[in-house]
Amino acid sequence: MKARVRLTSVHLTAIGLLALAAAIPARADSIVAWGDDTFGHVKNAPKGNDFVAIVGDDMNGYALRPDGSIAAWGDNKAGLVSNAPKETGFTAVAGAGFAAFALRADGSIVAWGSDKYGHVTKAPKGTGFTAIAGCVFAGYALRFDGSIAAWGDDGHGHVTKVPKGTGFTAIVGDGLNGYALRADGSIVAWGNDSVGQITNAPKETGFTAIAAGGVAAFALRADGSIVAWGNDKVGLVSNAPKGTGFTAIAGRGHTGYALRSDGSIAVWGNDHFGQVTNAPKGTGFTAVAGAAAASFALRSSEPAARRRERTR
């Protein structure tokens, strides 16, 4: 897993609305999709062993190929599928409700989809951005110095309450909130606090990744254990996996996802569309992500013994 994109806010260390890591691994995997297929999340998922990173958004899925080209599928409202950039060389992709963002190798941002909240026209210009993320109302980008740029609607303080200063290492957005990780592994949250998304965020340091699942959020400690906070209506907090050894986390649509060190998947929370009960079994998965009612994972075709040897 050391050479893989971690689906958390930045890498994605990001998976909900999550950004994907800039490092492109040397090998690619296939996409497995399950859950609701109203918008073609499952049947239209791209085929082939040709993907290195994956992220889900409300009605769409996005994946990156080794050449940095983007595959988009699902609902084409606002041109989220048909208007996805056709060029290569992208290092990250993220969703923001009915808009999406992609990051080029030079750190410039491309935005497409609905501009109702300024997701497209207000996207930052210039280069030097290292990560991207978004929520329904706003977009976020991490600069080279670790400062955060925010744009879009400010109804819940999505823009004006973004943390100041430098040294942030990860960002993620989902629902009505944004979250960031400092270099010491402490968490900053902003936006709506109706179910304790801000006030109940962990105060400790040493977290290595963050993710959001609609009305709840998750953080990964250095030992691979998961902390969850926010709304527990569908078990997003109380049903978060126990123990250590998890290597990545993601969230979306009131569902949480985690990847174990052996490449098996843990899913909890909303199971209305089989996100939990229909999650694929077995090992060898390298990334996991969620949409509002569907789920995605990358599966390696590499033999287990070779995979273990490569990741030592």
What pLDDT score does 308 carry? 53
Each of the 312 residues of the chain gets a pLDDT tens digit; together they read 333 333 333 333 333 333 333 334 445 799 999 999 999 999 999 999 999 999 999 889 999 999 999 999 999 999 999 999 999 999 999 999 899 999 999 999 999 999 999 999 999 999 999 999 999 899 999 999 999 999 999 988 999 999 999 999 999 998 889 999 999 999 999 999 999 999 999 999 999 999 998 889 999 999 999 999 999 989 999 999 999 999 999 999 899 999 999 999 999 999 999 999 999 999 999 999 999 999 999 999 765 545 455 455
What pLDDT score does 86 carry? 97
- CA dist 108 and 144 (Å) reads 11
- CA dist 254 and 217 (Å) reads 10
- CA dist 185 and 169 (Å) reads 9
CB–CB of 198/189 below 8 Å? yes
- CA dist 241 and 264 (Å) reads 13
- Residue 114 burial class via C-beta count within 10 angstroms: exposed 0-12, middle 13-18, buried 19 and up: middle
74 Rama class: left (phi>0) / alpha (psi -120 to 50) / beta: left
- CA dist 217 and 179 (Å) reads 9
What pLDDT score does 304 carry? 54
For residue 251, what are the CA distances in angstroms to 96, 117, 289? 14, 23, 7
What pLDDT score does 19 carry? 39
- CA dist 306 and 303 (Å) reads 5
Instruction: Give me the CATH code for the 9-310 domain, please.
Output: 2.130.10.30
Pairing of strands 70-74, 60-64: antiparallel
- The domains of the chain are located at 9-310
- CA dist 264 and 19 (Å) reads 22
- CA dist 176 and 139 (Å) reads 12
Tokens matching residue 23: 């490092």
Handedness of CA 22, 27, 32, 38 (dihedral sign): positive
- CA dist 308 and 312 (Å) reads 6
Handedness of CA 244, 15, 210, 144 (dihedral sign): positive
Q: Is 60 helix (H, G, I), strand (E, B) or coil?
A: strand
| Closest to 93 (Cα-Cα) out of 50, 117, 122, 63 | 63
